[in-house]
Amino acid sequence: MKHHLPWLICLLLFASVLTICPVSPAVAAPVTYKRTVEKYQIPDVILTNQFGKKVRLKTLLESGRPVAVDFIYATCTTICPVLSAGYTNLQRKLGPDSAKVQLVSITIDPENDNPRILKEYLQRYQARPGWDFLTGSRKDIDRVMHAFDAYFRDKMDHKPLTFIRGADGSWIRLYGLISSSEFMAEYKKAGLL
Amino acid sequence: MTLPMKVPAERASLLLLSILICVVLSAAAWAAPVAVPSDETQRLGEQMYRKGILPSGAPIKAYVSGDVPVDGTSFTCVSCHLRSGLGSIEGEVITPPTNGRILYQPRKPFIPGSEFVPSYSNYAKYLPVRPAYTDDSLAALILTGIDPTSRSVLKVMPRYDLGEKDMAIMISYLKSLSDQPPPGVTKDEIRFATVIVEGTDPVAVQSMLAPLQFSIDRKNSLSTAAEKNHRVARMGYNMLGDLSALRFSLSRWTLKGAPATWRAQLEEYYRKEPVFALLGGISEGEWEPVHRFCEEKKIPNLFPVVDYPVLSDTDWYTLYFSRGVRQEGEAAARYLYGMAELFKGKPVLQLYRASRKGQTLATGFRESWKAIGGGAMTEVRLSANEKLTTKKVLKLINQKKPAALVLWDDAASLSALSGLAAQKNRPGLVLASGTYLGKALWAVPEELRGLLYLTYPYRLPQEDSRFDVNVKRVLQGKPLELYEQRIVRQSYLTGEVFGKALMMMRGEYYRDYLHDVIGMMSDMHYPLYERVSFGPGQRYASKGSYIVQLGSGSNPVLERRSEWVIP
């Protein structure tokens, strides 16, 4: 008994951690996305883009151009590809004007996502100018996630969130996997299209 | 014998005929061999599943989120259902298995064998029941996203536009996924082995083996106790399902002689004793023949203790602790790049020993420095026996006038740096490898400590000591000093990760699935490494390094001079 008790205790602890993780059914009726309007204070951090260039986040997001932000990571299997497909589709609709709208993806896996990986990811989604994928130190990434009330303790716990900056500096927060038409409608409403 | 009720002769004949047809058809179905896809069908199916490329070479057309058109190349089946086809759990989405063996069975609200296991990885309890798929209903699901109960699956599941022939190839491939039990797994046991290269320091070997054997023994003691004690059996089952009754074994495979002969030795070991996976392993030099063997035989190898892992973006079966020695060179480049604006056009001087370690560090630095656009760099190679003198260092400094000196050598070169700190035209900093210096790191001359920066790819020792209690537990009372601390800690990590992975596998002991579940694990905080982090397809557990300096005094500690630097 002495020998196997630690194993059992370890298992119990592990299982209790796992059982409290939130989860949604995989096969379910589509959930309507949730839309709220929020005020966020963008932290003054320097991140790195897919070209390895330093980017001051505040400047990028408050440049006056229409802006959208999401939190993804390059090896994500489910949610991120859907969010990125939304960006791809938006850029297609914008056509040659794609750079007029600033799309920003911020990695939640800075441990893995270096500029080379960010660049490859954008190529996979046929990104055009105007879509930047940023990484940084974990401390700075955590600050940004907290600022958007989108902190994920771990990348495996992340949620589908997209933020669109309104003309008045407020942010439209979209929570859920939304269809292309819903996405476009939101962008139009925010003046991005 | 009479029928219980009166049946007209005509109807009785029809009934008999029906029964006969059913029996014949059933027998035919029973006798018919399970369709095995040809190699070409398998190849094309794999190409569709993993790359999203049709047999014609064109990308599969797909739609996600209802109406977002995408290329199948960016929405491949493998990205969610993973390589094993056994599905994934990520964020708020559970992706069910898509292999034929499970699809063609009705789904119950539990995983058979883990009915009462209250674990997050017991995914089936979150999924609605459904009848077994047929080829037709599976094709309908792939095309339309509608399952056999007429429900629409989540919007994240793309709807793939496949023609009839391509669909048949895809379905054939799905039927082959995680279908046959792998070697090394029986109903009673899962067999593992660890590879030891002969000639490796015995203390290092023992330090690698002790935590692994502890993990194996711990699991087996649970099985033994469960056989004798009903309550333990119930607890074990509630936590582990069918895994609780399985025993583990760990064989030692010792490789002798030249690396060129290792392949034949590995083949022979494997022929005599097929194993499910290799755990740990240790070599002070080569590992590539073992890596290649695992790749070709599709055998997982979890965390060999090596300095020179095989670096690849595509190889699948070996997981490493890090990118090895090279990672320090890469991190050094990233760190210096962060201050390159201060260099004012002056170059970085890279001085490196022509040893394997020195050259690997130098290559890592050089390639990363160039890739990130790090500016001017000049290099000097020290031959294997050349002594680095103060005179030579000063001459190089005067000639090259570097902004920073990167020195990849062992402690022998430290004495050549003495006096450098007092020089007027010295570089702003000297950067070296903490692991290359080894124990000499703790004896860096006092006058050099302010100038010398070191790569250190681990958690700082004074912060890692809180894990001593975990490490002592696996050593079962034996003194820590008898072991190589770094290796014990690494091997402790191996034992924890493989134990956790097997629990998450829920009876599906398939090799690709082992890697799939490790890819789904949350980031972990274990001894030695600051953050052990995986993700689908990631192959290196720890990916960065600190830059540190040695503090002053006779009992100095390492002082952090950077955040965790990701190359």
The reply to whether B521 touches chain A by the CB within 8 Å rule is yes
For B530, the closest chain A residue by CA position comes to A111
Contact B91 A78 (CB under 8 A): yes
Same domain, B57 and B136: yes
Same domain, B199 and B279: yes
Residue type present at position B513: Y
Return the half-sphere exposure (C-beta side, CA atoms, 13 A cut-off) of residue B81: 23
Write the Ramachandran bin of A149: left for phi over 0, alpha for psi from -120 to 50, otherwise beta.
left
Same domain, B274 and B363: no
Residue A40, min C-alpha distance to chain B (Å)? 24
Same domain, B552 and B407: yes
> What radius of gyration, in Å, describes the C-alpha atoms of chain B?
29
Cβ atoms of B174 and B44 within 8 Å: the answer is no
Domain with residue B302: its CATH number is 3.40.50.2300
Q: How confident is the model at residue A187 (pLDDT cuts 50, 70, 90)?
A: confident
Same domain, B448 and B503: no
Choose from B51, B61, B64, B68 for mutation: most chain A CBs within 10 A. B68
Rounded Cα gap, residues A51 and A73, in angstroms: 16
- The answer for A 83-112 residues in CB contact with B (under 8 A) is 84-86, 88-89, 109-112
Cβ atoms of B437 and B172 within 8 Å: the answer is no
Closest residue to A112, CB basis, from B155, B217, B535: B535
| Orientation of helix B230-240 relative to helix B202-228, angle to 10° | 120
Write the Ramachandran bin of B9: left for phi over 0, alpha for psi from -120 to 50, otherwise beta.
alpha
The reply to whether B186 touches chain A by the CB within 8 Å rule is no
The reply to whether A22 touches chain B by the CB within 8 Å rule is yes
Rounded Cα gap, residues A99 and A91, in angstroms: 8
What confidence score (pLDDT) does residue B425 get? 85
Which parts of chain B have pLDDT scores under 70?
1-36, 65-67, 112-125
Which chain B residues are closer than 8 Å to A75 by Cβ? 519, 535-538
Q: Where are the domains of chain A?
A: 43-189
Choose from A2, A4, A72, A90 for mutation: most chain B CBs within 10 A. A4
Same domain, B158 and B107: yes
B521 inside domain: no
Of B403, B411, B357, B349, the C-alpha closest to B380 is: B349
Which spans in B241-355 are helix H?
A: 262-272, 288-297, 325-337
Residue B410, min C-alpha distance to chain A (Å)? 28
Choose from A13, A27, A76, A161 for mutation: most chain B CBs within 10 A. A27
The reply to whether B64 touches chain A by the CB within 8 Å rule is yes
Contact B128 A25 (CB under 8 A): yes
B467 exposure class (CB count in 10 Å sphere: 0-12, 13-18, 19+): middle
Rounded Cα gap, residues A22 and B431, in angstroms: 45
Residue type present at position A2: K
Residue B271, min C-alpha distance to chain A (Å)? 33
The reply to whether A46 touches chain B by the CB within 8 Å rule is no
What confidence score (pLDDT) does residue B29 get? 36
Where do we find the tokens 């059992």?
A8
What confidence score (pLDDT) does residue B7 get? 37
Same domain, B335 and B406: yes
Which chain B residues are closer than 8 Å to A72 by Cβ? none
Which chain A residues are closer than 8 Å to B240 by Cβ? 11
Closest residue to A81, CB basis, from B75, B225, B531: B75
The reply to whether B234 touches chain A by the CB within 8 Å rule is no
Residue A186, min C-alpha distance to chain B (Å)? 15
Q: Which residues of B330-342 are buried (b: 16+ CB within 10 A; e: fewer)?
A: bbbbbbbbbebee
For A140, the closest chain B residue by CA position comes to B563
- The dihedrals phi and psi of B56, each to the nearest 5 degrees, come to -70, -15
Same domain, B249 and B294: yes
Q: How confident is the model at residue A10 (pLDDT cuts 50, 70, 90)?
A: very low
Distances (CA, A) of A38 to A166, A174, A185, B143: 10, 10, 19, 39
Same domain, B315 and B332: no
Residue B68, min C-alpha distance to chain A (Å)? 5
Same domain, B49 and B166: yes
Of B180, B160, B178, the C-alpha closest to B170 is: B160
Does the pLDDT value for residue A20 go beyond 50? no
- Give tens-digit pLDDT for A69-116: 999 999 988 788 888 988 988 898 888 888 889 999 999 999 999 999
Which chain B residues are closer than 8 Å to A15 by Cβ? 117-119, 239
Domain boundary among B176, B203, B225: B176
Closest residue to A8, CB basis, from B64, B74, B235: B235
Of A63, A58, A148, A142, the C-alpha closest to A107 is: A142
B182 inside domain: no
The reply to whether A136 touches chain B by the CB within 8 Å rule is no
Residue B553, min C-alpha distance to chain A (Å)? 31
Closest residue to B93, CB basis, from A26, A139, A183: A26
> What radius of gyration, in Å, describes the C-alpha atoms of chain A?
18
Residue A182, min C-alpha distance to chain B (Å)? 10
For A25, the closest chain B residue by CA position comes to B126
Which chain B residues are closer than 8 Å to A180 by Cβ? 65-69
What contacts B384, CB < 8 A, 6 or more positions away?
B353, B354, B355
- The answer for B 65-104 residues in CB contact with A (under 8 A) is 65-70, 73-75, 79-80, 82, 88-96
What confidence score (pLDDT) does residue A166 get? 82
Question: How many domains does chain B divide into?
Answer: 3
What confidence score (pLDDT) does residue B118 get? 60
Contact A7 B544 (CB under 8 A): no
B31 inside domain: no
For B154, the closest chain A residue by CA position comes to A27
B240 inside domain: yes
Question: ipTM for the complex?
Answer: 0.80
Domain boundary among B142, B176, B210: B176
- The answer for B 103-132 residues in CB contact with A (under 8 A) is 117-121, 123, 126-128
Cβ atoms of B291 and B315 within 8 Å: the answer is yes
Same domain, B231 and B170: no
The reply to whether A49 touches chain B by the CB within 8 Å rule is no
Choose from B114, B120, B564, B565 for mutation: most chain A CBs within 10 A. B120
Cβ atoms of A68 and A162 within 8 Å: the answer is yes
User: Could you tell me the residue range of the domain that residue B358 belongs to?
Assistant: 326-456+547-560
- Give tens-digit pLDDT for A30-58: 447 899 999 999 999 999 999 989 999 99
Contact A78 B156 (CB under 8 A): yes
Rounded Cα gap, residues B315 and B84, in angstroms: 15
Contact A7 B222 (CB under 8 A): yes
Same domain, B203 and B332: no
Residue A48, min C-alpha distance to chain B (Å)? 11
What contacts A57, CB < 8 A, 6 or more positions away?
A42, A43, A44, A45, A46, A47, A134, A144
DSSP conformational letter for B2 = -
The reply to whether CATH 3.40.30.10 applies to domain A43-189 is yes
Cβ atoms of B194 and B498 within 8 Å: the answer is no
Contact A3 B566 (CB under 8 A): no
Where do we find the tokens 């010295």?
B426
- Give tens-digit pLDDT for A126-167: 899 999 999 999 999 999 999 999 998 888 888 899 999 987
The reply to whether B233 touches chain A by the CB within 8 Å rule is no
Closest residue to B566, CB basis, from A4, A11, A114: A114
B22 inside domain: no
Closest residue to B91, CB basis, from A79, A85, A112: A79
Which chain B residues are closer than 8 Å to A88 by Cβ? 70, 74
Closest residue to A27, CB basis, from B117, B154, B219: B154
